[in-house]
A and B are shown apart, each in its own frame.
Chain A
Amino acid sequence: MTQKNRFETGGQIDRESLHKFTFDGKSYTGHAGDTLASALLANGVRLMGRSFKYHRPRGVLTAGSEEPNALVELRGGARQEPNTRATTIELYDRLFAKSQNRLGSLKFDLLAINDRLSNFLTAGFYYKTFMWPAAFWEKLYEPIIRHAAGLGSLSLKEDPDVYDKGFLHCDLLIIGAGPSGLAAALTAGRAGADVILADEDFRMGGRLNSESYALGDMSGADWAAATVAELASLPNVRLMARTTVIGAFDHGIYGAVERVSDHLREPQPDKPRQILWRIYTKRTILAAGATERPIAFDNNDRPGIMLASALRTYANRFAVAADKRVAIFTNNDDGHRTATDLQAQGIKIAAVVDVRADAPRSADYEVLHGEVVDTKGRLGLTFAELKLTDGSSRTLECGALGMSGGWNPNVHMTCHQRGRPTWNADLAAFVPGEALPAGMTVAGAALGDLSTAGALSGGVKAAQSALDLSGQGPDLPQAEDAPINIKPFWYVEGCSRAWLDPQNDVTVKDVKLSHQEGFRSVEHLKRYTTLGMATDQGKTSNMGGLAIMAEFAGKTIPEVGTTIFRPPYTPTAIGAFGGRHRGQEFHPKRLTPSHAWAEERGAVFVEAGNWLRAQWFPLPGETTWRESVDREVLATRGSAGVCDVTTLGKVDVQGTDAAEFLNKIYCNGFAKLAVGKTRYGLMLREDGIAMDDGTAARLADDHFVVTTTTANALPVYRHMEFVRQCLFPDMDVQLISTTEAWAQYAVAGPNSRKVLEKIVDQDISDEAFPFMACANITVCGGLRARLFRISFSGELAYEIAVPTAYGDALIRRIMDEGAEFDITPYGTEALGVMRIEKGHAAGNELNGTTTAQNLGMGRMVSKKKDSIGSVLSEREGLNTDTDLRQIGIKPVDPSASVPAGAHLMKLTGPISAAEDQGYVTSACYSPNLGHAIALGFLQNGSERMGERIRLVSPLTGVETEVEIVSAHFIDPEGDRLRA
């Protein structure tokens, strides 16, 4: 098919490169440099979509990112992207797009019946209609409405593309590469500043590419191209086309999305589709230009009716006539420029309809004083109905109608830090207010300087003031400097189905209705009618709605005020915010030094913090995890087991006040701990609740190694630094984390010493190295190592640490040397079983609500010294007779199971929260005892040993009689530890 609406010459398109593309199954051609919208118009396609609510036929309204109407589904398969603006899609070869929001074909949309029902589907329709019965909403109304309304559809497949994040630093960020942005960039770039110039378009130049007037002796587009070429040659200037600055955040941080691959059929291998840049800048110039606004009259939404400036863009930049016969409806001089430009391209101007009595006359086309009051044309504009000031009516035949209602400066980014725009009566528009984001200057049309000359000089001045430059700045070319002479005109008197927000299908009638129903605040108007709440954030519609609301309310526009804009400036793919952090890369993995070895043995891993820890090590023939875990527990208690405990947090504490410092952070005393000894320590929060526990080993008078639980390593370290820096700033103590510096293994079981004696170079007999001893040692003939005789399992046990690089070698050596004792690797599950059997509290018990008292460690809280939490731990409320105490639980029926999370109640009586006496924190099957066991908290539990009570779990349907016992199920005297 030929491009019947394409001019023979002109435009910034590459006629040599022919792109074939498909829209709604039909093939067309276009050129490099086209957008999908310009290519469709070139092919005479005006109808591009159906509207949100009424399924009205819609064409393109604009030529930029403010487009509310021409939304399409771009690409197919998993890359299908809904609600993509045809006006910003850069045409590429074999592009594939579909219209959306239709049932049947675009031309014969079966849901167009909604348009006939429009009397019912007005503002607040959903609120009013679907109130009753409530249950119907979810099951009936919502699915039907969702099916009928709405825009594009999702592929429901995983996004095959990747997204990057990136970070940039500059002295000056310039947002927008139109005349003011380019002039600013030239000024700053030549002065040597680090400049980033970002523009959402794929071709820099802004309106210069869309206008016919000259800059000096060049066309605007040529001047833009020459300027961009100079900027590109400056090493201190980074040009970022296809990059939308989406938000202004605190302290000079901006978000920007660079569309790296959206102009390609698919991204190149390993390359991202888009990059979300975080730009740190000292100063910013907002040169985002201005957006023309439409005028409301009946049926102003037919395909072919668009912004007058868009008609110019299509003609000048893309060499496309929207139609051969065009009418203009304007309230300012800018509308006349469109007529002149189009006529110069050989397009017939049906007439320029101007609401101003003093409208400029023209010898080239007819100027009518009056208004467009209605239009005709089922799938596209055919006639415009006029009402002239002299009282006469007239019908204009035209296939396109340009609306020119004045220009709104693009103040969006000035509002992102809660700035409010102010009203400028001369422009009949909001301009940037006083309170701008820190470091921001506004220039050009975004500031309200709507002439090209004003934009150029404004850009230079903005750069000079932002960077404190003096002097002339670059020589600027001669440029047009005409005023726009606007007469505010928002809507045609008496109109009703006149569209303000075509994307959300909000009409003048809806605004009127909302006013009648009492929605007087602009925020309420917005939410009740949904005006401006579509994906375009009302870039073309808000102003009209405000003006009409003000008129109904008998107020001025500044009295009514405006809603403010929030990031992102244009719709942004969620994938861009995720970046590379998805799937397996959602967060970092931490691997222990024995990871490869554990993998070789088929270990099943569990995430703990970011660590991957071996949960159990299944052997061939084992069919359930319980089989493996029971075996690991019995083997360890029977002979010897080994477990990787590298993940425990480790903090090196040194200094002459190290012991005194530990006295502060632990509730129990450390000052008198002998060198070469280790002690259990309980840390409280200042409010008296237990925070974490671990051990501190005294390697020297002024040197301790503190361990924390795996999960709390970071917060505990932070807390320790707080105590050191903020509470006791003049203690001589130094901290540093050594968690990952050491590979650490627990070797446990009655034969653990025999295993280690084969590895450790020093004497580790019970006499030389008794329970709770610690020392710097060497292993395997001289490797520096640390040994701690501590036990979580309740067995004779050690923890041995070597520098991480030797962790893999050491675990293999331990296994080799332990083979004669059938040493068994055990995972976190077996570790958990053994600590429950021993009654050791862990994260389930130190759960952020329990005190030392609750944990049965009340007497550990020293009253003789100051420690964090000691004062508030004595609060009355934490020390009552009915306090929870940690207890052991065993089922009366040995075959019964005991779920963690179950609650404890009297043997008889109701099951209710009021009857609650405690709860189960940890539970497991004990292979040593042959039945389930559990730890929990029970009111006054320490005084209730032997009592029978009921364990209930309404969630899992369990109700079992249990006996309260000591939490120390195995070896309560601790003989094994000291063996």
Chain B
Amino acid sequence: MIIDHPLLGPRDASEFTYMGDASLIDRPDWQSETAARDFYEYGYLRDNPAGWHDELWFHEAGDRSWLVVTRNTVTHEISKVALARDVARARGRSK
């Protein structure tokens, strides 16, 4: 596969390490009343779609950026690639 890195352009997927569902960015608040339940769901309950999926890939043999790659798990088509840091900020992780 080729991942179109937002800064570096098309790069072979072999340069990357895969982690999984990009919902891992949405780490719950440890002080919430429901923290135990929230972290359980965060850690263990994930979607496994046959189709479009936001995934975390680490450019290990590259610039060490974490990316959010929107990939169709059936066709391997990739529709969007973003720096995970930007995604995290957009999802309100700036504190």
Interface residues of A (CB under 8 A from B): 249-253, 280, 417, 438, 686-687, 714, 718, 721-722, 725-730, 866, 870-872, 874-875
Contact = CB atoms under 8 A, between A and B. Distances in A.
Given A253-B1, A280-B10, A728-B95, 7 more contacts: A251-B1, A721-B66, A725-B88, A727-B27, A727-B93, A871-B28, A872-B40
A249 B93 CA distance: 37
Contacts of B69: none
Interface of B: 1-2, 10, 12-13, 17, 19, 24-25, 27-28, 30-31, 35-36, 39-40, 42-43, 56, 58, 60, 64-66, 75-78, 83-85, 87-89, 93-95
B1 A729 contact: no
A914 B93 CA distance: 47
Contacts of B35: 871
A960 B48 CA distance: 48
A687 B43 contact: yes
B69 to A, nearest CB: 12
Contacts of A251: 1-2, 76, 78
B58 A718 contact: yes
B66 A874 contact: no
A726 B89 CA distance: 8
Residue of A438, A687, A726, A728 with most chain B CB atoms under a 10 A cut-off: A726
B43 A686 contact: yes
**Interface of chain B: mostly helix, strand, loop or mixed:** mixed
A721 B1 contact: no
Nearest to A686: B43
Contacts of B43: 686-687, 872
Contacts, number: 80
B39 A721 contact: no
Given A686-B39, A726-B25, A729-B85, A253 B58 contact: no
Contacts of B64: 721
B89 A730 contact: yes
Nearest to A721: B64
A726 B84 contact: yes
B53 to A, nearest CB: 15
A866 B13 CA distance: 34
Given A721-B58, A729-B93, A871 B39 contact: yes
A730 B94 contact: yes
10 contacts: A250-B13, A280-B10, A686-B43, A718-B58, A726-B25, A726-B87, A727-B27, A729-B89, A730-B95, A871-B30
B41 to A, nearest CB: 11
B66 A727 contact: no
Nearest to B35: A871
A33 B94 CA distance: 70
Nearest to A252: B2
A726 B2 contact: no
Given A722-B58, A725-B66, A866-B30, A253 B39 contact: no
A417 B76 CA distance: 10
Contacts of A438: 77
B66 A722 contact: yes
B66 A875 contact: no
A634 to B, nearest CB: 43
Contacts of A725: 65-66, 83-85, 88
B27 A875 contact: no
A728 B2 contact: no
Nearest to B94: A730
Given A871-B36, A871-B39, A726 B66 contact: yes
Contacts of B2: 250-253, 280
Given A250-B76, A253-B2, A729 B94 contact: yes
B90 to A, nearest CB: 10
Contacts of B65: 725
A249 B75 CA distance: 11
A417 B88 CA distance: 33
A722 B88 contact: no
Contact of B30 (A417, A687, A729, A870): A870
Contacts of B36: 871-872, 874-875
B78 to A, nearest CB: 8
Contacts of A280: 2, 10, 12
A718 B39 contact: no
A906 B4 CA distance: 59
Contacts of A871: 28, 30, 35-36, 39
Contacts of A729: 85, 88-89, 93-94
Nearest to B60: A718
Contacts of A252: 2
A727 B93 CA distance: 7
B88 A727 contact: yes
A48 to B, nearest CB: 42
Nearest to A278: B12
A725 B35 CA distance: 22
Nearest to A731: B95
A42 B34 CA distance: 84
A463 to B, nearest CB: 22
A359 B40 CA distance: 76
B9 to A, nearest CB: 12
Contacts of A718: 17, 58, 60
A249 B76 CA distance: 10
3 smallest beta-carbon distances between A and B, as pairs: A251-B2, A866-B30, A250-B1
Contact of B56 (A249, A726, A872): A726
Contacts of B27: 686, 727
A482 to B, nearest CB: 40
Contacts of A727: 25, 27, 88, 93
A480 B15 CA distance: 49
A40 B8 CA distance: 55
A492 B27 CA distance: 69
